[in-house]
Amino acid sequence: MTVRQFQEERTKPFRLVKYFTYTSLFFIFLGILVLSLLNTHWARNMQLQKSEDYAQLLIENLNHQVFLQFIFPVALKYGKIQLRDKEQFDRMDRVVRSTLHSFKVENVNIYDMDNTISYSFDAAMVGKRGWGGSFYQEAIKGNRTSKLVQRGNFWEVLLGFSRDSNLVTFAPLRAEQRISRLSGPVLGVVEIVQDMSEDYHAIFKFQILVIVTLTGVMGLLFLCMVLVVNRGEKIIERRALERLRLKDKLSRAQHLSSLGEMVAGVSHEIRNPLGIISSSAALLKKKMAAIDPSNTFLDIIVEESDRLNNIITDFLSFARPINPNLGPCRVDKVIQKNLSFLDNPFKTSGYTVTRDIGASIPEIPGDAALLYQAFLNLLINAMQAMPEGGEIRISLHRVDECIRLTIEDQGPGITEAPQEKIWDPFFTTKEQGTGLGLGIVKNIIQAHNGTIVIGNRETVGASVTVELPIENG
C-alpha cells in the first residue's frame, strides 16, 4: 500500500464527517435565512394590520369631526350640503386638514352616494365618478376595506423595498346618533391613503441588517469549521503517515532480524572451514618458502582468507546485539586515538585533517572500544570518498546536554537516491565492501542513546553528525 492509498483509506471517514458538517452548515444557514425572511414577512403583516387599525381610528375621528363641525352646522345654516359651493368646500377642507394635519395621510377622498368624489386633497380628483370601484361598494354596505398599493418592479415589490407603499382604506361616512357614535345611516364614503413607504423601508433595512448579521455569523462559523476540519485532516494525515512509518519500521526490523539470524548462522558455518583453510595455507606457505620462495599462490590464499574472515566479522558484528560496556569515556581522547592510528595513511595519501575540538569536553557514559570502531569507520569512509586526497574537517563540541561530533569531507557527496538507502544492510557504492559499515556505526551510536545524521554540505562533500548524551538517560 502506497502512502497516498493509506492516507485516502484513513481519511475517508473524516471526509464523510467533513461533508456532513459542511452540508449541515449550509442547510442551517438556509433555514435561518428562510426564517429571517418569514420574520420580515410577519413584521410587514403586523405593520399592515397596525396601519389598518390606525386608519380605522383616523376615519372614526374624521367622521366625528366632519359630522360635528361640518354636516350638522352647514345643514342648519344652509338647509342642504353642496360641496360645489366654495364656502362649504373650504369649510370642509379646514375641518379635514385640521383633523389630520399631524398624521401621515397622503390623500383623503370623500364620495357621495353616487360614487362621485365630492372632496379630495387633490383638487383634480373632485367631481370624478366611479373612481371607488368595488371598495366603494363595500363601504356603502357598511364594511371597511383596505388595500396595499406598491410601486416598483417585480423584485422590489417581492423583497419589500418598493419605491412607494400606500395603504388605501375605504370606510362608510355615517351620521352620528346621540347615544352611539357612527351608528347612523351611511351618508357617503371616506377614502384615506396612508404613506407606508417609510415603515416598509425601515422593515427592509432591518431585514438587510438581519441577513448581513446572519451572513457574518455564519461566515465566522464556517471559517472556524474550515480551520477545525483542516487541522483535523492534518492530524489524521500525520497519524496515518506515522502509522505507515511504524509499519515500515516494524517490517524492516522483522526483515533485519531474520536476515541477522541467517547471517549469523551462515557466518558460523563458514568461519570454521575458513579457519582450517587459512591455517593450512599458512602452514603450506612456510614449507613452500624453503622450496620455492617465488611462489605467491599461497600468499593469495592467506590474504583472501583474511579478507573473507573480516567480512564474516562484519556480518557477525551487524547481526549480534550491541551491549556497550558503559563507563567514563572521553570522546576527544577516542578521536585522538583514531587520528594517531590513521596518521600514516593521512600523510602518505595526501590527506589534511583540520580539527576544531572544544577546550573542555566532559566525560560521557560510553564504551571507548565501540566508539573507537564507529569513529574509525566514519573516518575511513571520508578517506574513501576522496581517493586522490583532500581535507577532512573534524569538529567536536558540547551542545546543550550532549557532545556533537561532525566529520566533513570534500568528496562528491551523497545523491538523493542513496541517501534513502545508506542505512540498508549490504548497500554500498564501493567496488569492495559489505555495505554493513554504516549499519554497524548506527547500531553503536544508538546503543549509546545517541543519534547520527548523514547529509551533504552546502558547498561540496558529505557531512556526518553524531550526538551523544552527556548523561545516560
In a domain, 351, yes or no: yes
Instruction: Find, among 61, 196, 191, the residue nearest to 126 by Cα.
Output: 191
Q: What pLDDT does 179 receive?
A: 41
In a domain, 417, yes or no: yes
In a domain, 260, yes or no: no
In a domain, 173, yes or no: yes
Residue of higher predicted confidence among 33 and 424: 33
Residue 191 pairs in a beta bridge with 109, 170
Output DSSP code: residue 459: S
- The stretch 349-365 carries a mean pLDDT of 88
What DSSP assignment string belongs to 149-172?
EEES-HHHHHHT--SEEEEEEEEE
Q: What are the pLDDT digits (tens) for 154-203?
A: 676 666 667 778 888 898 888 765 444 545 677 777 877 877 777 777 77
Residue 466 pairs in a beta bridge with 405, 452
How large a percentage of the chain has pLDDT more than 90? 6
Cα–Cα distance, 408 to 383 (Å, whole number): 10
Residue 394 pairs in a beta bridge with 355, 407
Q: Is 69 left (phi over 0), alpha (psi -120 to 50) or beta?
A: alpha
In a domain, 123, yes or no: yes
In a domain, 331, yes or no: yes
Reported confidence tier of residue 6, pLDDT bands at 50, 70, 90: very low
- The stretch 53-67 carries a mean pLDDT of 84
Residue of higher predicted confidence among 65 and 432: 65
Residue of higher predicted confidence among 118 and 187: 118
Inter-residue contact 170 to 189 (CB < 8 Å): yes
> Residues with Cβ < 8 Å from 292, sequence gap 6 or more?
none
Cα–Cα distance, 115 to 135 (Å, whole number): 11
Least confident of 27-31, 361-365, 396-400, 463-467: 27-31
Instruction: Answer yes or no: do 27 and 163 share one domain.
Output: yes
Last residue of some domain: 163, 181, 207? Answer: 207
Inter-residue contact 440 to 318 (CB < 8 Å): yes
Q: What pLDDT does 436 receive?
A: 56
Instruction: Answer yes or no: do 200 and 329 share one domain.
Output: no
In a domain, 284, yes or no: no
Indicate if the alpha-carbon torsion angle 97, 99, 104, 108 is positive or negative. Answer: negative
Last residue of some domain: 207, 225, 259? Answer: 207
Q: What's at 33, amino acid-wise? A: L
Residue of higher predicted confidence among 213 and 3: 213
Q: What pLDDT does 428 receive?
A: 56
Indicate if the alpha-carbon torsion angle 11, 15, 17, 21 is positive or negative. Answer: positive
pTM of the model: 0.43
Instruction: Find, among 182, 204, 163, 193, the residue nearest to 54 by Cα.
Output: 193
- The stretch 23-47 carries a mean pLDDT of 75
Query: Domain range holding 93?
Result: 3-207
Last residue of some domain: 173, 207, 241? Answer: 207
| Distance in angstroms between the alpha carbons of the first and the last residue of the chain | 37
Residue 136 has pLDDT above 60, yes or no: yes
Instruction: Answer yes or no: do 193 and 335 share one domain.
Output: no
Instruction: Find, among 201, 165, 193, 197, the residue nearest to 106 by Cα.
Output: 193
Q: What pLDDT does 394 receive?
A: 92
Which SS3 state, helix, strand or coil, does residue 79 take? Answer: coil
Least confident of 26-35, 46-55, 308-317, 371-380: 308-317
Q: What pLDDT does 269 receive?
A: 67
Q: Residue 339 belongs to a domain with what CATH number?
A: 3.30.565.10
For residues 142-166, one letter each, b for 16 or more C-beta atoms within 10 angstroms of the residue's C-beta and e for the rest, the string is: eebbbebebeeeeeeeeebbbeebb
Inter-residue contact 204 to 45 (CB < 8 Å): no
Q: Residue 63 belongs to a domain with what CATH number?
A: 3.30.450.20
Q: What pLDDT does 315 receive?
A: 61
Q: What are the pLDDT digits (tens) for 395-448?
A: 999 888 899 999 998 888 776 655 555 655 555 555 555 555 677 788 888 888
In a domain, 293, yes or no: no
What DSSP assignment string belongs to 384-434?
HT-TT-EEEEEEEEEETTEEEEEEE--S----HHHHTTTTSTT--SSSS--
Inter-residue contact 335 to 405 (CB < 8 Å): yes
> Residues with Cβ < 8 Å from 87, sequence gap 6 or more?
none
- 363, with CB counted inside 10 A (0-12, 13-18, 19+), is middle
- The stretch 36-55 carries a mean pLDDT of 77
Largest separation between any pair of C-alpha atoms in the chain = 173
Domain count, the chain: 2
Reported confidence tier of residue 333, pLDDT bands at 50, 70, 90: very high
Write down the mean pLDDT value for the chain. Answer: 78
Residue with cell 396595499: 148
